[in-house]
């Protein structure tokens, strides 16, 4: 608890400075500000710690804090302490660009970890690109981003959605229905489902997209029933959309049509909802809290020790955040400097380490991670791992993204159907 307070205090002092920037910046000569800046290494964190996305965002910010504390406890990097400068974007898109500009122009940070939704990533990615600050997006997403300045440590559809679809085709049937959040993540992931279904000889019989504040799913539940799929894939994001699962159950659909999801469980659903709602929904992630390895267990222990009752549910998102920071730290050590080119070169040198989710390596060509993924389902508020897939390649760009060979590439590859 005291750690948390300290963090808040630290953030506030930083912000107090920035809030009065217009005035105080007048007074402080430029060289003085530069001098202050060089004492610590600055790690920028930009995350939705409050608001409807906070169930995902807050643990990620906590993990960032944990990782930075660990690094500092081990002596910091290059003999300097790491200062975490954190902004809460309050689940509001406008604040992303505002705070990203603040990180880039005022705080002049050395690296940024953060961004939760794909929308937020696309909003801030160009800002850090222009400011030449390496950017880590540590959230599982729709895949395909190919940008020399950006590193994505979360899992992608080529590592998870394909397994969900295979599972469905094998166990349930050839027809599926997709429910997705109405933004690029939901749209592109749905295209992936279409592609994988077609490849496996099945089809998507319907897809509905919802704004993030959608709460009433009754008309969709009717539509699903009239389309009669063999299973439903949900790509629903945020607190409001989790209401679907309860409406699904109370409409009596739970026992009729099985659900698969690559998002369910990321916002602590297995603890906040009745087990009758959650049990049996099949998911696929790069990590589950129940994974029985020493690294995984110690990660959970460390988090629980540091944040106690303030910690609400853990997921792959936290592990990939941790991975992102560790890769960056490894690269800084290897480069021996914070110079962007040196750090990028080190990041592209084929780094790997054993994280809570197992062995992970950073793919130099795509700037994504090669890692194990797992199929799992909730049972009595615990995750049951059903299957393990080792060494999953982030092949979402179909081999077209090779940043080693073509560093000027900057686009997002999407599935071709």
Measured from the Cβ of residue 94, the count of other Cβ atoms closer than 10 Å reads: 10
Can residue 350 be called a binding residue for another protein (CB under 8 A)? Answer: no
CB 184 within 8 A of CB 122: yes
Can residue 329 be called a binding residue for another protein (CB under 8 A)? Answer: no
> Running DSSP on this structure, what letter comes out for residue 80?
B
**Of the two residues 384 and 410, which places its CB atom closer to another protein in the complex?**
410
Give the shortest CB-56-to-another protein separation in angstroms: 11
Closest Cα partner for 417 from 194, 175, 188? Answer: 194
Can residue 7 be called a binding residue for another protein (CB under 8 A)? Answer: no
State how far the Cα of 213 lies from the Cα of 251, in Å rounded to an integer.
21
**Of the two residues 144 and 286, which places its CB atom closer to another protein in the complex?**
144
Give the shortest CB-65-to-another protein separation in angstroms: 16
CB 195 within 8 A of CB 415: yes
State how far the Cα of 351 lies from the Cα of 284, in Å rounded to an integer.
25
> Running DSSP on this structure, what letter comes out for residue 367?
S
Can residue 30 be called a binding residue for another protein (CB under 8 A)? Answer: yes
Which residues inside 101-160 make contact with another protein, applying CB under 8 A?
Answer: 101-102, 105-106, 118-119, 122-123, 125-127
Which residues inside 84-103 make contact with another protein, applying CB under 8 A?
Answer: 88, 90-95, 97-98, 101-102
Q: Which of 6, 13, 81, 250 binds another protein (CB under 8 A)?
A: 250
CB 91 within 8 A of CB 51: yes
For residues 404, 406, 408 and 413, what is the CA-based torsion angle, rounded to 10 degrees?
A: -100
Which residues inside 158-217 make contact with another protein, applying CB under 8 A?
Answer: 181-184, 186-187, 208-216
Q: How many residues comprise the chain?
A: 417
Give the shortest CB-254-to-another protein separation in angstroms: 9
Which residues inside 50-79 make contact with another protein, applying CB under 8 A?
Answer: 50-52, 54-55
Can residue 414 be called a binding residue for another protein (CB under 8 A)? Answer: yes
**Of the two residues 30 and 405, which places its CB atom closer to another protein in the complex?**
30
Stretch of residues binding another protein (CB under 8 A), selected from 35-43, 246-254, 321-329, 342-350: 246-254
Give the shortest CB-225-to-another protein separation in angstroms: 5
Stretch of residues binding another protein (CB under 8 A), selected from 15-23, 341-349, 372-380, 382-390: 15-23
State how far the Cα of 64 lies from the Cα of 49, in Å rounded to an integer.
12
What's the count of helices (H) and strands (E) in the chain, helices before strands? Answer: 16, 16
The three-state (H, E, C) secondary structure of 28-50, written as one string: CCHHHHHHHHCCCEEEEEEECCC
**Of the two residues 261 and 372, which places its CB atom closer to another protein in the complex?**
261
Give the shortest CB-389-to-another protein separation in angstroms: 30
């Amino acid at each position: 608890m005291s750690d948390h307070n300290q963090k808040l205090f630290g953030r506030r002092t930083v912000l107090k400075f920035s809030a009065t920037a217009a005035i105080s910046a007048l007074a402080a000569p430029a060289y003085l500000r530069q001098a202050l800046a060089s004492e610590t290494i600055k790690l920028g964190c930009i995350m939705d710690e409050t608001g409807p996305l906070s169930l995902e965002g807050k643990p990620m910010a906590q993990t960032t804090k944990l990782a930075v504390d660990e690094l500092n406890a081990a002596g910091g990097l290059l003999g300097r302490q790491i200062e975490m400068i954190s902004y809460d974007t309050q689940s509001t898109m406008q604040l992303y660009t505002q705070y990203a500009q603040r990180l880039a122009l005022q705080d002049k940070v050395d690296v940024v970890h953060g961004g939760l939704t794909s929308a937020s990533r696309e909003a801030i990615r160009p800002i850090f690109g222009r400011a030449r600050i390496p950017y880590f997006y540590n959230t599982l997403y729709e895949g395909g981003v190919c940008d020399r300045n950006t590193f994505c440590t979360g899992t992608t559809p080529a590592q998870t959605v394909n397994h969900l679809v295979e599972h469905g085709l094998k166990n349930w049937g050839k027809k599926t229905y997709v429910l997705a959040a109405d933004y690029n993540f939901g749209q592109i992931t749905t295209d992936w489902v279409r592609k994988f279904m077609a490849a496996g000889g099945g089809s998507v019989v319907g897809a509905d997209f919802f704004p993030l504040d959608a709460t009433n799913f009754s008309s969709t539940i009717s539509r699903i029933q009239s389309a009669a799929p063999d299973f439903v894939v949900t790509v629903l994001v945020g607190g409001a959309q989790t209401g679907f699962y309860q409406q699904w159950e109370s409409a009596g659909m739970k026992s009729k049509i099985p659900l698969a999801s690559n998002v369910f469980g990321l916002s602590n659903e297995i603890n906040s909802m009745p087990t009758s709602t959650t049990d049996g929904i099949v998911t696929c992630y790069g990590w589950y809290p129940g994974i029985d390895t020493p690294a995984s267990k110690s990660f959970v222990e460390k988090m629980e020790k540091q944040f106690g009752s303030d910690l609400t549910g853990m997921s792959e998102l936290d592990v990939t955040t941790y991975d992102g920071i560790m890769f960056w730290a490894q690269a800084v050590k290897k480069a021996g400097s914070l110079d962007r080119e040196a750090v990028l070169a080190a990041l592209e040198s084929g780094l790997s380490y054993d994280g809570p989710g197992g062995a992970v390596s950073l793919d130099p060509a795509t700037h994504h991670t090669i890692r194990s993924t797992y199929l799992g389902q909730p049972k009595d508020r615990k995750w049951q791992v059903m299957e393990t897939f080792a060494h999953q390649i982030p092949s979402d760009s179909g081999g077209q993204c090779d940043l080693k060979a073509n560093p000027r590439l900057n686009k997002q590859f999407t599935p071709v159907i």
